[in-house]
A and B are shown apart, each in its own frame.
Chain A
């Protein structure tokens, strides 16, 4: 029982972090219809930024997280505005190919600079924790969870309450009509991609604080983002949170009771199951209804 409880808590906390990993991916896919294969690479890049700032300049990882997020925001904006916008009207395969190329570029660039060794960001607080009997809650994971939920909530509020968030929604639903309203769609696309990348950078830093990472992990994080986004419902921020937590729990439980090699198979199994039972995702609205075709 305690084993189960520990696995559940681990899964829950890890799931919060997964939500932060996947929410930006879901935003970009659901709203601007770009499946960003490089999303996982953005996560890992964020981890390396905070790791390097800590190692080379002794900058606290939480400050490093902010720097990573800002840097990724700028990179994300430039990538969308300068590159992806060029193929935004092309078939989805073009954007897939483009972001896949970007992923290769980033991952191999990181291997070249930092080697493929596993790294981790050491903090004084991540190792401590709360104990309830035999069940332990590490501070680092608690912090990651709290931050993930906070940022996801802020993003959800931004999307539904702010004028810019509404413009992002409108552009995703019908780009031409959004432009007739005076919305600069190119800028909105770039901004959306930038927000997504910034969140990935923040998530990456937390990944580095609570565990280890190396450049090749990028692919796994993209796959997880895929599961989280579809599980929760594309473009739905609270859905991504739910999707992240479900994936975290499933991974933790299967890691506890089954062979570790099965973890991803189980994760995708859940995805397939959800798609069969509820194709719009856990919290998704029927997607086709929310979008006008051009």
Chain B
């Protein structure tokens, strides 16, 4: 569904990503793990059109995404839930969710109901200012806002950032639900254990290159992964 081939990208003259090959299949949960500064966020930004790749191709459902700006990419069916949630802090939860459906011509009320069903906590806080939510609720709102755009693929950057482990597990469970509804998920995580446990397939990104790839379980028990990211030998 998403095919990235020999991608290179960066900021200005500074290269960040080198020769990246990555695919996400239909209804697949794929994790992208790696340490700080490895280029995970840059990769998502290249897919969603926030930055333009300098080389390589990104193909989604058989159509090339190169040259598209973010507002066009979201219309192709890719939602990008950015790192740090990036909610519109001065607006309410309801307003944030509705903005997620900005490009849809209809009222998206069914999508809205579905998001509230998926995250009942948001339903209780619809008229609250998004900036006043707890970290977990903010992440629910950010994911919900992404789902409002009716995506086929949702990319989530640092789902676990600043959240308690039990909350992370809850949210990851929701990703299973999202997948079962027909979507694909590309999950960027620093919580390597949680991400690899959930994902069917995973990629390890190191200094801008794919260092390892395999099924979630394979990587979870890979010696190098365990040493570098899980702190166990």
> How many angstroms from the CA of A181 to the CA of B71 in the assembled complex?
7
Nearest CB in chain B: distance from A294 CB, A: 9
Known: A285-B90, A292-B89. A163 touches B50 (CB 8 A): no
Is B95 among interface residues, defined by CB-CB distance under 8 A?
Answer: yes
* Total inter-chain residue pairs, C-beta < 8 Å: 73
- B77 → A minimal CB distance (Å): 11
With A166-B95, A289-B131 in contact, do A183 and B88 touch (Cβ < 8 Å)?
no
Interface string of B119-146 (1 = CB under 8 A from A): 0000000000001000000000000010
Q: How far is the CB of B108 from chain A (nearest CB, A)?
A: 11
Residues from chain B with a CB closer than 8 A to the CB of A181 are: 71, 74, 99-100, 102-103, 145, 149
Q: CA of A179 to CA of B49 in the docked complex: distance in angstroms?
A: 10
- Residue of A whose beta carbon sits closest to that of B49: A179
Judge whether B88 and A179 touch: CB under 8 Å: no
Which chain B positions have C-beta within 8 A of A174?
86, 88
What chain B residues lie within 8 Å of A285 (beta carbons)? 90
Q: How far is the CA of A167 from the CA of B96 in the complex (A)?
A: 10
A225 to B16, CA, bound (A): 45
| CB-contact partner of A169 in B86, B91, B131, under 8 A | B91
Interface string of A278-294 (1 = CB under 8 A from B): 00000001000111100
Cβ contact within 8 Å between A179 and B149: no
Q: Which of A167, A173, A176, A289 contacts B102 (CB 8 A)?
A: A167
A41 to B48, CA, bound (A): 40
Contact assessment for B90 and A179 in the assembled complex, using a CB-CB cutoff below 8 Å: no
Contact of A177 (CB < 8 Å), options: B69, B82, B98, B103: B82
Enumerate chain A residues within 8 angstroms of B102, measured Cβ to Cβ: 163, 167, 181-183
**B88–A173 CB distance below 8 A:** yes
Name the distance in Å between A125's Cβ and chain B's nearest Cβ.
42
Point out the residues of chain B lying under 8 angstroms from A167, CB to CB. 99, 102
Determine if A183 and B98 form an interchain contact, defined as CB atoms under 8 angstroms apart: no
A166 to B91, CA, bound (A): 9
Q: Does residue A184 face the partner (Cβ distance < 8 Å to B)?
A: yes
Inter-subunit contact A173/B99 (CB<8 Å): no
Residue contact B90 to A291, C-beta cutoff 8 Å: yes
Q: A163-B102, A181-B149, A182-B102 are in contact. Are A173 and B50 (CB under 8 A)?
A: no
- Determine the distance from Cα of A285 to Cα of B129 in the docked complex, in whole angstroms: 12
Of A163, A184, A289, A292, the contact of B86 (CB 8 Å cutoff): A292
**For the complex, is B70 an interface residue (Cβ under 8 Å from A)?**
yes
How does the 8 Å CB contact mask read for B19-50 relative to A, with 1 for contact and 0 for none?
Answer: 00000000000000000000000000000101
| Residues of chain A within 8 A of B74, CB atoms compared | 180-182
**Complex CA distance for A163 and B99, rounded to whole angstroms:** 8
Assembled-state Cα–Cα distance A167/B80 (Å):
17
Partner of B90, one of A173, A177, A185: A173
Task: With CB as the reference atom, state the residue of chain A lying closest to B90.
Answer: A290
What does the 1/0 interface line of B65-85 toward A look like (CB < 8 Å)? 000011100110001101000
Mask of A152-177 contacts with B, CB within 8 angstroms, 1/0: 00000000000100110110011011
Most buried by A among B48, B70, B131: B70
Name the residue of chain A whose CB is nearest to the CB of B145. A181
User: What distance in Å separates the Cβ of A89 from its nearest Cβ neighbour in chain B?
Assistant: 13
Complex Cα distance A289/B130, Å?
Answer: 11
Q: Kindly list chain B residues whose C-beta atoms are within 8 Å of the C-beta of A180.
A: 48, 50, 70, 74, 79-80, 82
Q: Is the CB of A170 within 8 A of B89?
A: no
CB distance from A238 to the nearest CB of B (A): 15
**In whole Å, how far is B205's beta carbon from the nearest beta carbon of chain A?**
21
Nearest Cβ distance between residue A291 and chain B, in whole angstroms? Answer: 7
Would you give the shortest CB distance from A289 to chain B, in whole angstroms? 6
* A185→B50 CA distance, assembly (Å): 12
B88 proximity list for chain A (CB < 8 A): 169-170, 173-174, 177-178, 292
- Residues on B with beta carbons closer than 8 Å to the beta carbon of A182: 70-71, 74-75, 102-103, 149
Measured between alpha carbons, how far is A77 from B80 in the docked complex, in Å? 30
Q: Which residues of B contact A173 (CB under 8 A)?
A: 88-91
Give per-residue flags for A177-215: 1 if the beta carbon is below 8 A from chain B beta carbons, else 0. Answer: 111111111000000000000000000000000000000
Q: How far is the CA of A268 from the CA of B92 in the complex (A)?
A: 35
12 contacts between A and B (CB under 8 A): A166-B95, A170-B91, A176-B50, A176-B86, A177-B86, A181-B99, A181-B103, A181-B145, A182-B70, A183-B102, A290-B89, A290-B131
Q: A167-B99, A180-B79 are in contact. List 20 more A-B contacts (CB 8 A).
A: A166-B91, A166-B95, A167-B102, A170-B99, A174-B86, A176-B50, A178-B88, A178-B99, A180-B48, A180-B82, A181-B71, A181-B74, A181-B100, A181-B149, A182-B71, A184-B71, A185-B71, A289-B89, A291-B89, A291-B90
Would you list the 6 A-B pairs with minimal beta carbon distance, nearest first? Answer: A182-B103, A290-B90, A179-B70, A177-B86, A182-B74, A181-B102
Chain A interface (Cβ < 8 Å from any Cβ of B): 163, 166-167, 169-170, 173-174, 176-185, 285, 289-292
